[in-house]
Structure 1
Amino acid sequence: MIFSIYLSLPWLKDLASIVSLPAAILIIGGIAYIPGYMSAFLVASLLLDRQPVFKDEYPSDSVSLLIAAYNEEQSIFDTLKYVADQDYTGEIQVFVINNHSTDDTEEEIMRAKRELDLNITIFHESQPGKFHALNNGLQYVVTPYVITLDADTVLHPSAVRYLVSRIKSSPPDVCAVAGSMLVRNSRKTIWTRVQEWDYFLGIASIKRLQGLYQGTLVAQGAFSLYKTECVQEVQGWPDAIGEDIVLTWRLLKKGWKVYFEPLAVAFTDAPTTLGHFAKQRSRWARGMIEGLNEIKPWKQPQVYTKYLTGINLVMPYLDFVYTFCWLPGLILAFFGFYWIAGPMTLLVLPLTVISYGLLYMYQKNYVFNNLDLRIRKNKLGFVLFILFYQMIMSPVSVWGYLQELFKSKRVWE
């Protein structure tokens, strides 16, 4: 980072003559200094990471599994079938909470109950909102561990076993373990092709980084395991659009730790259109702001958690600078005005490919090979992910920040 600052001094001087020195520092800091530092920190940390071995790869503790379902007639049976096919030897009690569905979701659940070798109980929740459904199911959980699973997500046969193995192999103050999410419908559209690489490289690597420092910031509701007593102690899932984010931060505030298990793999359906993608990711950005509003980074009890949530504190600044400075600067460069972007910008590409190459090798050698999975060929998606993904993500995130700032109506779909 220091070397980058040294190299940028002529750029800083030229830009300052146009927009003033303070503005130039804010712009260059948001598009170069801080992102460069974060990338270097990520790669260096992951190169040093050594996942602890399991103390018991075949635990048999009873677990409860909560599935909140709203109009999921197309997917709920498959989701339950993959739960039934788990190689976990312990009892899995499945609670499906029908969140006021208006289609044939309940009929599909009843079909699964008849046809699958699975202990399924159905509850009904009339109040809209995933947090209402999960809290409804939580009150019936008597097992020491509870797993949440989205109704459109299917599990690798060993997913539950690896989640339970990780928490059983962890120190007593670990209260949750996040599973690893990958894209199932990556062949559906060009948008799902691009998102496949985001899940495979981006999201997985960030969770590994956070897990390394024992502060995974989101035990995502799509597939994560929690100690039941810990979730109950923080009063379950909160009334928030990012209910899993706020829940995780409440758990961290208690001084507990949250891990990540890369071998506990689940496959989810990514948004197939740009509009659906924008709604999902703006909702995630808004959920992050909800978490920051409720629990400030400096109030987290552990040093690493302060640091990791502190990084989230600067994300709105980075996204605003990228959206309103970097993207216009890229357009100006096409007309010969190299105030913000220029030919030297292309040097970022080989560095990006190298860093993602390291992450790719880890995912291939440690995760996919061990799970007998094959990486799909998706070269076009990778190129689009490298070149254009952030150009979409930052404006979408800014949209989510503004929604939370102006308290727009919350929409989960």
Structure 2
Amino acid sequence: MRYLLPFLLLVALLAMLVLRGYVNSEIAADHRVRNPVGTDQVPEHILDGGPVIDARSKTEPATSVRIPDHHIVLTFDDGPDPEWTPRVLDKLKEYHAHGVFFVTGTMASRYPELVRRMVDEGHEVGLHTFNHPDLSYQSSSRIDWELSENQLALAGAAGVHSSLFRPPYSSFADAMDDKSWPVAQYIGSRGYLTVVNDTDSEDWKRPGVRTIIKNATPKHGKGAIILMHDSGGDRSQTLAALDRFLPSMQEEGYEFTNLTTALGAPSALTPVSGAALWKGKTFVTAVGFSEDVTGVLVAGLSVVGVLVIGRFGLMLLLSFVHARRVRRRNFRWGDAPVSGRVSVLVPAYNERKCIEATVRSLMASDHPIEIIVIDDGSTDGTADVVEAMRLPGVRVVRQQNAGKPAALNNGIAHARYDIVVMMDGDTVFEPSTVRELVQPFADPKVGAVAGNAKVGNRDSLIGAWQHIEYVMGFNLDRRMYDVLRCMPTIPGAVGAFRRTALDRVGGMSEDTLAEDTDITMALHRDGWDVVYAENARAWTEAPESVQQLWSQRYRWSYGTMQAIWKHRGAVFDRGHSGRFGRVGLPFVSLFMVVAPLLAPLIDVFLVYGLIFGPTGKTVAAWFGVLLVQVICAAYAFRLDKERMTHLISLPLQQILYRQLMYVVLLQSWITALTGGRLRWQKLRRTGVLDAPGAAPGARAAAGADHRRPVG
């Protein structure tokens, strides 16, 4: 069930995009236009007849009629248009004129309020197909579909069906040929009057107001069906022409009327009720919703683009600044290096497979330490393994299962020294890790130090993806936050704290599921500096299955949201706390909560663009974003002295891994908004990491070159 709601949401978003493509003629659209052919099969009386063709009778031959003298039927094609159609309607209303609007289904379903206004103000509405194809290219089933979908849009928009039809790309009656005439016959057999025109204003060419009026003016008092347009481009000349044409023709005795009124026939519009009405309303409502959703998605995609490019640009710039500062500062954090003994806390719950390698890696440390393993009620004999090792300087503290924060607080209570290093029970340190980690404490303003957590088990695809994430995301982020002086998280796998700072903020809190983020934010609010020690490397065992990864990231993301909410008051604080609140909290919120939730839009629109177009621009944009990520990843790998071969899987990571993180974050949002509670979840460990220099297993997992002491 945890995947169902996010999956359904993605499917719903894609469905909305498909519907939008459907009503924007991006699906099933056919833009071919046929050249004229011969007229041998068209009856002479049709070619020489009027612009209204009636082929509805199954027993009688088709007939055509003209508009009576001094009657004008103004017809407007291709709408409704949200900009021009209301202004055309206003102009007709101003001069008490009526006309016929031949609407396409795509436009009618997107702007139903305009179709309703047409009907309410006494105009007639006719069909102009759904997608505006040349029907001479279409099969009878496709023609039926164009008609039925056009009627569906009319029913949903105004609760009516119409018996008037104008073929796209039609002209005068004498332009009927051997390809268009069979279409007119088939349309008639479906119960429609085919309406062409006998007076073309040619307003679509935008020839000027005077020319439009000249083209539209009937000769010698004759009646006319005049072709104009209320959509398809700039219709300002059409509007200006109407402002002059309507009053001048009325002064000459012309009446601007509906088609059926001019012919003395019953109205072409019939009310729709029952299932047909609700089907139409449902369709139009869905179209409107899809348009709104698409607008939100486009806005969200813009936000994602700005956040992604902005974040990566900032990460590159500030990481470069950080690297230069590290390289050129040949200085010590204080008057003298930190050389005193420190306490290393190892909270452990059922870490039997990993704990020996963890402890032995600490025993190889080149900095004096005491080791305290806090067994949090393990049931697999974790504490027994440590005690059986009988190593000097290693103590085991047993407690009933109470969770990691309680275990760490218990360890702090047993620690003898002023600097406390914390790590996970599945992590191994290099010999130099502790020494590198504690040096910043020579500066009395430093309250905590973040180390460089690295993925040890990176041989699998999911491990390689997490390796990329750790190097590019977490560690490049930490360099950026270090320069901005707003480090949001001390990683649980490798971090160090000044005991005085811990005491002042009350130790590790159980208020959130991200105790490492919570304590870091609390230290900022108490005025302490939090810095990054990139050479303090620790190798941790990352989740090896999607299920385990989901469980871990679900806890991380939910806990981070809890911590942000808990410390939201920092935004209004002064001093160091206020700086963190107004810089650190917005960054964490944008980059860890908002951006990952919106990131799948990149891939959703990739699929949309590949199917509906423009394919070239879509692919180029997607690869442009990927290129920025590759550049950032390559630079991060260079800074961390990692081999670039793992970046081969980066494109696949961006497609698949991003969706997993979206599901995780969405589920966290749902949990937070519904007031749910998330319990700690124990990951299954394999014990593949060994102590540095102890066995080849760790070297194979992490790379032997990274196990050498630094400096």
- Tell me if TM exceeds 0.5: yes
Partner Cα distance (1:306, 1:39) in 2: 20
How far has the Cα of 1:156 moved from its partner? 1.0
SS at match of 2:435: helix
SS at match of 1:43: helix
Partner Cα distance (1:286, 1:338) in 2: 38
Task: Name the CA shift for 1:380/1:39 in 2 (closer, same or farther; >3 Å).
Answer: closer
Query: Does the 8 Å contact 2:522/2:567 carry over to 1?
Result: yes
How far has the Cα of 1:25 moved from its partner? 6.2
How far has the Cα of 1:330 moved from its partner? 2.9
Query: Does the 8 Å contact 1:129/1:412 carry over to 2?
Result: no
Matched residue type, 1:389: Y
Matched residue type, 2:410: N
Structure-1 residue corresponding to 2:584:
308
Structure-1 residue corresponding to 2:304:
31
Task: Name the CA shift for 1:53/1:386 in 2 (closer, same or farther; >3 Å).
Answer: farther
Q: Deviations over 1:86-117 (max 9, x none)?
A: 111x3x111111101001212211123x1x3x
Task: Name the CA shift for 1:244/1:254 in 2 (closer, same or farther; >3 Å).
Answer: same
Partner Cα distance (1:162, 1:60) in 2: 11
Structure-2 residue corresponding to 1:229:
500
| Higher Rg of the two aligned structures | 2
Task: Name the CA shift for 1:230/1:286 in 2 (closer, same or farther; >3 Å).
Answer: same
SS at match of 2:414: coil
Structure-2 residue corresponding to 1:87:
366
Matched residue type, 1:391: Q
Matched residue type, 2:413: Q
Percent identity, aligned pairs only, is 23
Structure-1 residue corresponding to 2:347:
68
Residues 1:192 and 2:474 aligned together: no
Matched residue type, 1:109: V
How far has the Cα of 1:258 moved from its partner? 0.4
Q: 2:433 aligns with which of 156, 159, 164?
A: 159
SS at match of 1:378: helix
Q: 1:393 aligns with which of 658, 661, 665?
A: 661
Partner Cα distance (2:418, 2:523) in 1: 16
Matched residue type, 1:254: D
How far has the Cα of 1:299 moved from its partner? 3.8
Task: Name the CA shift for 1:20/1:241 in 2 (closer, same or farther; >3 Å).
Answer: closer
Matched residue type, 1:408: R
SS at match of 2:640: helix
Query: Does the 8 Å contact 1:282/1:398 carry over to 2?
Result: no
Q: Deviations over 1:125-151 (max 9, x none)?
A: 213310111111111223110010100
Matched residue type, 1:308: G
Task: Name the CA shift for 1:34/1:376 in 2 (closer, same or farther; >3 Å).
Answer: closer
Partner Cα distance (2:388, 2:643) in 1: 33
Task: Name the CA shift for 1:104/1:304 in 2 (closer, same or farther; >3 Å).
Answer: closer
Matched residue type, 2:404: K
Partner Cα distance (1:384, 1:208) in 2: 26
How far has the Cα of 1:213 moved from its partner? 1.8
Partner Cα distance (2:611, 2:294) in 1: 24
Query: Does the 8 Å contact 1:178/1:259 carry over to 2?
Result: yes
Task: Name the CA shift for 1:308/1:25 in 2 (closer, same or farther; >3 Å).
Answer: farther
Partner Cα distance (1:320, 1:164) in 2: 36
Query: Does the 8 Å contact 1:67/1:148 carry over to 2?
Result: yes
Structure-1 residue corresponding to 2:78:
none
Q: Deviations over 1:183-233 (max 9, x none)?
A: 11112x221121111112221100111112222111122210000011111
| Bigger shift: residues 95-104 or 52-61 | 52-61
Residues 1:280 and 2:555 aligned together: no
Structure-1 residue corresponding to 2:628:
351
Matched residue type, 2:371: V
Query: Does the 8 Å contact 1:159/1:265 carry over to 2?
Result: yes
Task: Name the CA shift for 1:363/1:130 in 2 (closer, same or farther; >3 Å).
Answer: same
Query: Does the 8 Å contact 1:316/1:398 carry over to 2?
Result: no
Task: Name the CA shift for 1:162/1:53 in 2 (closer, same or farther; >3 Å).
Answer: farther
Structure-1 residue corresponding to 2:244:
none
Structure-2 residue corresponding to 1:369:
none
Residues 1:255 and 2:527 aligned together: yes
Task: Name the CA shift for 1:299/1:291 in 2 (closer, same or farther; >3 Å).
Answer: farther
Structure-2 residue corresponding to 1:321:
598
Partner Cα distance (1:20, 1:356) in 2: 33
Residues 1:136 and 2:136 aligned together: no
Q: 2:672 aligns with which of 384, 404, 408?
A: 404
How far has the Cα of 1:352 moved from its partner? 2.1
Query: Does the 8 Å contact 2:525/2:580 carry over to 1?
Result: no
Structure-1 residue corresponding to 2:477:
206
1:34-53 to 2 correspondence within 5 Å?
A: 34-49=307-322, 50-51=325-326, 52-53=329-330
> How many residue pairs end up in the alignment?
380
Q: Deviations over 1:220-278 (max 9, x none)?
A: 22210000011111111111211111111111111111001000000000000011011
Structure-2 residue corresponding to 1:335:
611
Gaps of 5+ in 1: 1-13, 365-373
TM-score (norm 2): 0.50
Structure-2 residue corresponding to 1:7:
none
Partner Cα distance (1:81, 1:288) in 2: 32
SS at match of 1:236: coil
Residues 1:177 and 2:446 aligned together: no
Gaps of 5+ in 2: 1-23, 25-109, 111-290, 683-711
Partner Cα distance (1:221, 1:156) in 2: 16
Matched residue type, 2:639: Y
Query: Does the 8 Å contact 2:318/2:479 carry over to 1?
Result: no
Matched residue type, 1:202: G
| Bigger shift: residues 325-334 or 218-227 | 325-334
Task: Name the CA shift for 1:349/1:205 in 2 (closer, same or farther; >3 Å).
Answer: same
Partner Cα distance (2:651, 2:534) in 1: 24
Partner Cα distance (2:527, 2:604) in 1: 43
Query: Does the 8 Å contact 1:179/1:261 carry over to 2?
Result: yes
Residues 1:122 and 2:396 aligned together: yes
Q: RMSD value over aligned CA atoms?
A: 2.5
Partner Cα distance (1:38, 1:178) in 2: 21
Task: Name the CA shift for 1:379/1:256 in 2 (closer, same or farther; >3 Å).
Answer: closer
Query: Does the 8 Å contact 2:433/2:535 carry over to 1?
Result: yes
Q: Deviations over 1:23-58 (max 9, x none)?
A: 366313332122221221111111222124452796
Task: Name the CA shift for 1:275/1:21 in 2 (closer, same or farther; >3 Å).
Answer: closer
Partner Cα distance (2:318, 2:580) in 1: 13
Matched residue type, 2:521: W
Task: Name the CA shift for 1:376/1:24 in 2 (closer, same or farther; >3 Å).
Answer: closer
Query: Does the 8 Å contact 1:64/1:143 carry over to 2?
Result: yes
Residues 1:360 and 2:637 aligned together: yes
Q: Deviations over 1:350-382 (max 9, x none)?
A: 222222222222222xxxxxxxxx748435444
SS at match of 2:543: coil
Query: Does the 8 Å contact 1:176/1:257 carry over to 2?
Result: yes
Query: Does the 8 Å contact 2:554/2:668 carry over to 1?
Result: yes
How far has the Cα of 1:337 moved from its partner? 4.7
Partner Cα distance (1:179, 1:20) in 2: 43
Matched residue type, 2:588: N
Task: Name the CA shift for 1:138/1:312 in 2 (closer, same or farther; >3 Å).
Answer: same
Partner Cα distance (1:379, 1:208) in 2: 20
SS at match of 1:352: helix
